[in-house]
Structure 1
Amino acid sequence: MPRRVSLPAADDLFRPTARTEEPEAAPAEPEQDGRKKPSGRVRHDEKMTVYITSDELLDLEHARLVLRRSHGLAVDRGRVVREAIALVLADFEARGDESALVRRLTEE
């Protein structure tokens, strides 16, 4: 006689869990020079999908590993991308038409 394993129902697996009070993630506050800081390591509510080439992914992973090995910074790829976005947007806000973003986008 085969034995059946008792498994939880789907309702049990996908039930909402009781949430403990988590501190509200503060919006990015401006740095002392007036620029916004990247969000860093907080729970992010928004998601965006970006497709990159395998070479770009390897470059990103290489940068992450260098940050860890040479600077002692254990960060994930998402954090590196958020920091890079913050830098590019700060440069764009400060320099406008002379920013690296505008220059690179007009070179295409």
Structure 2
Amino acid sequence: MARRVSLPAADDLFRRTAPAAEPPAAAEPEVATGPAAPEAAAKRPRKPSGRVRHDEKMTVYVTSDELLDLEHARLVLRRSHGLAVDRGRLVREAIAMALADFEANGDDSALVRRLTEE
């Protein structure tokens, strides 16, 4: 009778091997709620989540050209900058950049300008 080989799960292969350096709790900005929340949120830098396990999922449909452009950007980042990133991380980075610009510049942000061009 053949024995089955036990292989590690994907979570085991891609887990962090070193503890993440976290700033002291006193240095973290407070998160405001209510009407003043957008102004308070603009003061803290927005960072993409990076390479961590994501519990939430969102499906976005793109055109063939948009997908090719995204894949081309991923390959250029790898070839020219040595950055091996997947499409998901590339999209999360772009979202973080767009939202940071929106929070910092509001009506003058690139996001508002591009959405009002439609």
What TM-score do you get using the length of structure 1 for normalisation? 0.70
Choose between structure 1 and 2 for higher RCO, CA contacts under 8 A separated by at least 6 residues: 2
Give the distance between the partners of 2:46 and 2:65, measured in 1 at CA: 30
Q: Which has the larger radius of gyration?
A: 1
The whole-number CA distance in structure 2 between the counterparts of 1:97 and 1:36 is 18
- Equivalent residue pairs, number: 84
Pair 1:98-2:108 in alignment: yes
Partner of 1:78: 88
Which residue of 2 is the match for residue 66 of structure 1? 76
Identity %: 83
1:12 alignment partner in structure 2: none
Per the normalisation by structure 2, the TM-score is 0.64
Secondary structure of 2:101 counterpart: helix
**Structure 1: gaps of 5 or more residues:** 1-18
C-alpha root-mean-square deviation of aligned residues, in Å?
A: 2.6
Q: Where do 4+ consecutive residues of structure 1 move more than 3 Å?
A: none
**Structure 2 CA distance, aligned partners of 1:89 and 1:36?**
8
The DSSP-based 3-state class of the residue aligned with 1:68 is helix
Cα distance between partner residues in 2 of 1:35 and 1:80? 18
